[in-house]
Every structure is written in structure tokens, then in C-alpha cells.
Structure 1
Amino acid sequence: MPAMLPTRLRVASATLSLFCMSMFGASQAATPPEHEAALQAIIAAFEEQYVFPEMRPRIAQHLKEAERSGRYDTQDAAEFAERVTADLQQVSGDKHLWLSVDPAGYAAAMETDNDDERVQAMWQRLALREHHGLTEMKVLGGNVRYLRISRFDWLNDQSGAAYDRAMSFLKDGDAVIIDLRGNGGGSHSAVRHLVSHFMDGDVLEMTFLEGSKPPVQSRTHEHLPAGRLKGMPLYVLIDLSSASAAEAFAYDVQQFKLGELVGGKTVGAANNNTLLPVAPNFILSISYGRPVHPVSNTNWEGVGVTPSVAADPAQALEVAHSLALKRLSERDGVSEENLLEYTWARAAVEASLHPVTFTKDRLQRLAGSYGSYKVEFRDGTLWLIRRDRAPARLSPMTADGLFAVERINGVRVKLTGKTMEVFRPGQPQPQVLPRA
């Protein structure tokens, strides 16, 4: 007889990151009968509720054959969980299927009277300690506003206010970059609130299907305290660690043509999952529903979301920033003041994307006195010396001799060997100093 499964713990929306950070848990011992009973419970769960009925017998058969082959003959619970996870994902292609060793989670799930309170308390603590997943906001060069969302947390009557403050910050920018690299998912309520700011109100955003139940629609909000950002140049950073709810937002951006996706292809985990306790100390993640997008009439399960601008994920921010500045510079009616700011900022971004090096001989030839300034070669680099000021290192930006001056408010100098041109932010023409 298969082991009985207590009431399941449903994740608010498809999510990977929260429970997969230590998916297989610490090594623990378990007896062969316990593993056998756990496997029977897992098979029973899939036969009863997996999102794709036609796949249920195939998954069950695959697990049974693996058991008969001796694949699960181990007393290490973590190793057992790892093998089951690999088999589930191999036969289904579903990244939301996994088994973890989680004694604390199992114990909480078994206390059925307090399930909802315990799960809610866990989510609330994480959300509040990490500012609802909105972990970084800053102004980049050219007034490009940056927001990092590490996870799509959502607490009713709390997270919305945090998102509204973040949206007010983004709204004052000339362009927006939202960083979803490494974001493993979370609540679709957060996705819905975020994407609503870039669309009209009351637009069908996603439909969720679960067995024979009536479809559930997600529609964009009609009222937004921070207002809308429609038409704002939008760049979203993604990579192979962007999953689930993070992919939902990226997919919306792609399908509704709201902006550019920059980086690498995402995981490909679209299904909605739930968490089930399995004796003795396991937690099983199983997909119970799936989203359908109104534009594509499908989703990103198994295929991921492909970026419109492919880039090394480690450099995706710089690539998106440079692209944003380039397109802002090319807009009709851009003011000379803004154009100068965009050009200035882009030069720094391009220098970080395409670093240049100078030979020791060339650096030594550029050293000398220029007006009240002196350029010295020491420790393999150039330093700018001014009276009564600390020396400032010169970092090469371009092959023609443009250098950034560290610690002096964005000042740059260009050394030609005969002159030093001093560039300051906001000034269209440099100060030219001949070499003494």
C-alpha cells in the first residue's frame, strides 16, 4: 500500500529558489523500507494530481523501473532524493519536480492545524528581511534607473507598498533596467503588480489552468499609486538561473513587446508547483497547474525565455546600460545637455566592456608636466598629481589615450604626448594644457 500523503503545502505561485537552495539537504540515513514507502507515496501523488494526465503513467513507470534496477538502493536520504529528482526531471522535462530532505519542513507540514500559519510566517520573515525581494535600487549614468529583484515575494497589504515606492523611483528615470539574474521565482501576484506598470489596466496577462477547475485569469491592475511607466525604455536582465515567476515577467516583456531582454536563456520552468510532505523527512515538489499566455497561447515550460540581446550574463548589466544610452542618444528631440550626459556615461560603460591596456613604454612617454598638473609613472601605472591634493590613479578608457581620474568627481583626461585635455562632466569642450 502506498504511504498516505497529508494535506499539501501549496506555493503561492511557481517558485524554485526558496526550496532549491539546499535541495537535497544534509546527509541523513534512512532504511530501505522507508525509501520504498516514500517512492510509493511519490508515485501515488503523481498518479493523482500531476498537471499533465497523459504523463502520469509514464512518470510512474519510469520510477518503478528505476526501483527494480536497484537505482534507489541507498541508505543516504540525500542521495535517494537526488536520484529521484534527476529521474523525475529527465522523464518529464519539468524543472518544478524535485525531492528534498527537509526534516523541519516535513515536521511543519505534519502539523496540519498550523500549516497555513507556519508557511505564511516563513514567507513573511523572508520577505521582510529582504525587502520583498527588491534588494537594490540605484541611479546609473545618464539617469538610467536600476532595480534588482532577487525573488518575487508577496505579502498581502505589505509588498504592494514596497513595489509602489520602487516604481516611483524608476518612473523618474530616462530608462529602466530590471535585473532578474539569479531570481528563482516567487509569487505571481508580484509579477502581476510589476508588469501592470508597463501596460494598460484590465488587460488579460495570464490564464492559469488546474485540472478540471475553471480557469483563473490574471489581469493587469487598473489603479496604481505610482502611476504607469508605459513607453519607458525597459531592459530586463535574465540568465540560466532566472526561473518560474521571474520567467513569467520576462515572458510578458517578450510577448507584449514591452522592452528588451538582455543576457542568456532562462531555465524553462513555467508550471505551478505545490509542496507535499513524504515520510520520513522528505518534501516533494509537484506541478499541479500551468499558465497560458494570451499572446502565444502557450508558455515557456521546457524551452525557457530567449533574450532579444544575447550577452554574457556577467556583463548583461553593462550591455543593457550601453544599449539604453545609445538609444536615448538617438531619440528625436534629445536636448544637447542630455546628449552630452548620455555620451559621457556610455564612454565609461564601453570602457568596462572593452578594457584597453597600455605598454609600460607608452605610459612612460605620457608622463610629464601639464600646466599645474603633473603626470607620474609609478607602480606600472600613471598618477595625476596636483598641489595639495592626494595623487589620483589614471585608468585607461580608450586606446587613443583617454583616462578616467579616480576619486575626482568623474573627471577624465586625454594624454596625447603633447597636450593633456581635461574633460569635466557637463562641459562640452575640454581644457587643453600643453606639455612643459
Structure 2
Amino acid sequence: MKLLFRILLICSLVSCNGNAQKASVDNEYVKQIVEQISDLYKTEYTFPDKGKEVSSVLISNLSKGVYFNHNSYDSLASSLRQDIFNITNDKHVQVIRRKPIEKNKDPQQPSVNEFFKSIKNYGFTNIEIIDDTIGYVKMPVFFPIRMDAKAKDAADDMMKRFKTCKTIIFDLTECRGGDPEMISYLISYLYPKGKKVHLNDFYYRPSNSTMSSYTDKVAGTPLPKVKVYVLTSGKTFSAGEEFSYDLKQLKRATLVGEVTGGGAHTVEPRILDDNFELMLPTGRAINPITKTNWEGKGVKPHVETSSDEALDKALEIIRKVS
């Protein structure tokens, strides 16, 4: 089962790339694309009823000629995305206009892979030690370990630097998503060696199955006594929210900042052809404690403040209790 949390930034980094065609898009081609999307939502969208509704509306609009006469693939993608979002209110929904395929590139390579490859230091973009006892890391994504095993090495190196810290601050104010495997790996460092903690369940619509994530062994030394703070903002999304939500429900961290974006669905890339790709929400998180998730409502922090002031507020709290 592939579990890939949606990166919100893909909208600007992928779907708007490429040269927009100014001539009208062929109607027969439009029909083919819309029917493919309709079928995928009907059979694979995480909520079957909503998936059927999306399928029905798309086919109805197609029969009315709503999607004809677009002057670019980008315009068509935007129109389809908006219609799907209007039904699902799902922030993970994306219809992506693919980049022109470069020579020697695999045409079946999802656009999101290129995004991850552009991320500095596997998502650990800024690592500092504050006041000699506070570890700080800013993370724009939770990098998929299965994409590059060196991502785990980077996590190990960071936690090794924090080995003597009394507190760790995870700054997720700019985190737009990532992969559950990295979430599990980092949280595993926050519990004693050998302790198995149930973090989350994921329902997967295509196979009508559920898988669970737990803490696991780590390569370095666990830090079960370290205090943890997580900084959030309205931009914190998807995997960033799962990390925050998991630790909040486990009472393992103090969250400081703003209510998060509200995206709890897992997504998978579906390449339609050389021009179009979907980020399709095929699953959803189910927390084992609350039996629900943060979809549509976000994760509420313990201490609410603006994202710009979240770090200063967290440091104020830490210094006061030290």
C-alpha cells in the first residue's frame, strides 16, 4: 500500500509549470481525460458516496459541454479541480498540469518525486541548539524514507545533535506535508527503546483495508525524557498535522501557534497521460485515541498565538519552567 501525504506546495510548483497551450483543447481529448478522472473518483476516493457524486457531476458537466473550449491544459485542470473541490471540500484534491517530459526521464515518474528531490537536507532545513539545552529544527516536509534511505540517516544525525538537549522544538509552521514513515521514525525517538506505541491507523479505499503505524526501533539513542514542543500555523498541513495531532493525543508534546490547515487524507499520484496527473485522496487517518482525525477542522494548539510569535512564545514557556 502506498501512503503518500499530499504536499500543498505541489500546486504552485507543479500544476502551474509547463507552457500553456493557447489553442483550444480538442473536445474528444477532454472527454477522455474527464472520464478517466470520473472513474478514479468513483472507485478510489476515500469516501465512496462523495466519489460517486464527483463522478456524476463531472460526467453531467461533460455532457453539457462545460469543459470544452478551454484554451489551455492549465485552464482545464483548474476548472476540474475547482469542481471536485466544491463537492468534496478536500484540500488534498489536485488536478496537475504535468511538466513537458525531459529527455531520458521516466514518463511514469510522479511529479511529486521531483518536488521531494528539491528539498534541502531531507526536510531538516534548519537545525540549531538554543541556550545550549534546546534543540530546534524547522521542517518544510517529512521526507519519504522509502524514496531515499539517506533521509533516515539525516534524522539520526539530527537527533544525535540533540542528545544532550532537555527540550526539542519541531517548527512545522511552514510544513506542507510529507510521508507517515518519517513521522513514525521521529516519534520513535521520543519513547524508550522497545516501547511500541500505536500512532495512527490509515483506511485505504482501493483495497478497503486498514493499516496501522507504530513506533519502532531507531538507529540512535532514544530521548524519552526530552520535552517536546511543536510550532504550528494555518499553513501546517497533512503530514505536519499528523505529527502534531499524534503527539497531542499522546500527551507527548506541547503545541504552540495557530490552528492547522485541516487535511487528514492520504493521497496517491495517478498519471493520466503526458499532460495530466491527479493527486487522488485514496485514504484517511483514523487516530486510535480519538477514533477520528483533523480533516476540515485542523489541529488546535495548546497555546494559541500567531505563527510569527510561536517560537518566541515557546522559548518563553521553556525558559520559565526550566
TM-score bracket, normalised by the shorter chain, equals 0.7 to 0.9
> What's the C-alpha RMSD, in Å, of the aligned pairs?
2.7
Q: CA deviation at 1:236?
A: 0.6
Distance across 1 between alignment mates of 2:102 and 2:27: 19
Q: 1:121 to 1:35 in 2, by over 3 A?
A: closer
Amino acid at match of 2:79: R
Q: Does 1:315 align with 2:309?
A: yes
Q: Does 1:170 align with 2:162?
A: yes
Q: Which moved more, 1:185-194 or 1:70-79?
A: 70-79
Q: Does 1:135 align with 2:129?
A: no
Say which SS state the counterpart of residue 231 (structure 2) adopts: strand
Q: 1:123 to 1:279 in 2, by over 3 A?
A: closer
Distance across 1 between alignment mates of 2:302 and 2:321: 15
Q: 1:252 to 1:109 in 2, by over 3 A?
A: farther
Say which SS state the counterpart of residue 275 (structure 1) adopts: strand
Q: Does 1:250 align with 2:244?
A: yes
8 Å contact 1:106–1:281 — kept in the other structure?
no
Question: In structure 1, which of residues 146, 155, 180 is the aligned counterpart of residue 145 of structure 2?
Answer: 155
Q: Does 1:220 align with 2:215?
A: yes
Question: In structure 2, which of residues 184, 191, 201 is the aligned counterpart of residue 199 of structure 1?
Answer: 191
Say which SS state the counterpart of residue 16 (structure 2) adopts: coil
Q: CA deviation at 1:210?
A: 1.4
8 Å contact 1:105–1:283 — kept in the other structure?
no
Say which SS state the counterpart of residue 99 (structure 1) adopts: strand
8 Å contact 1:11–1:275 — kept in the other structure?
no
Task: State the Cα deviation string for residues 334-369 of structure 1 (Å, max 9, x = none).
Answer: xxxxxxxxxxxxxxxxxxxxxxxxxxxxxxxxxxxx
Question: In structure 2, which of residues 32, 39, 58 is the aligned counterpart of residue 63 of structure 1?
Answer: 58
Distance across 2 between alignment mates of 1:91 and 1:252: 28
Distance across 2 between alignment mates of 1:107 and 1:90: 37
8 Å contact 1:147–1:177 — kept in the other structure?
yes
Question: In structure 2, which of residues 17, 21, 24 is the aligned counterpart of residue 28 of structure 1?
Answer: 21
8 Å contact 2:267–2:279 — kept in the other structure?
yes
Q: 1:235 to 1:120 in 2, by over 3 A?
A: closer
Distance across 1 between alignment mates of 2:64 and 2:37: 18
Q: Which residue of 2 aligns with 1:372?
A: none
Q: CA deviation at 1:34?
A: 2.4
Q: TM-score, normalised by structure 1?
A: 0.65
Q: Which residue of 2 aligns with 1:4?
A: none
Any runs of at least 4 consecutive aligned residues in structure 1 with deviations exceeding 6 A, and if so which? 105-110, 118-121
Q: 1:186 to 1:106 in 2, by over 3 A?
A: farther
Q: 1:111 to 1:82 in 2, by over 3 A?
A: closer
Task: State the Cα deviation string for residues 363-397 of structure 1 (Å, max 9, x = none).
Answer: xxxxxxxxxxxxxxxxxxxxxxxxxxxxxxxxxxx
Amino acid at match of 2:238: S
Q: CA deviation at 1:280?
A: 5.6
Between structure 1 and structure 2, the one with the greater Rg is 1
Q: 1:139 to 1:280 in 2, by over 3 A?
A: closer
Q: Does 1:263 align with 2:263?
A: no
Question: In structure 1, which of residues 81, 99, 102 is the aligned counterpart of residue 98 of structure 2?
Answer: 102
Identity %: 23
Q: 1:256 to 1:106 in 2, by over 3 A?
A: farther
Q: CA deviation at 1:61?
A: 2.5
Q: Which residue of 2 aligns with 1:87?
A: 83
**Could you list the runs of 5+ residues in structure 1 that have no partner in the other structure?**
1-9, 329-436
Q: CA deviation at 1:45?
A: 1.0
Q: CA deviation at 1:218?
A: 1.0
Distance across 2 between alignment mates of 1:121 and 1:80: 23
- Give the paired residue count: 312
Distance across 2 between alignment mates of 1:150 and 1:63: 34
Q: CA deviation at 1:229?
A: 2.2
Task: State the Cα deviation string for residues 69-123 of structure 1 (Å, max 9, x = none).
Answer: 66534222212212221221221121211101113479999845xx5xx889747
Q: TM-score, normalised by structure 2?
A: 0.87
Distance across 2 between alignment mates of 1:187 and 1:23: 18
Distance across 2 between alignment mates of 1:176 and 1:110: 40
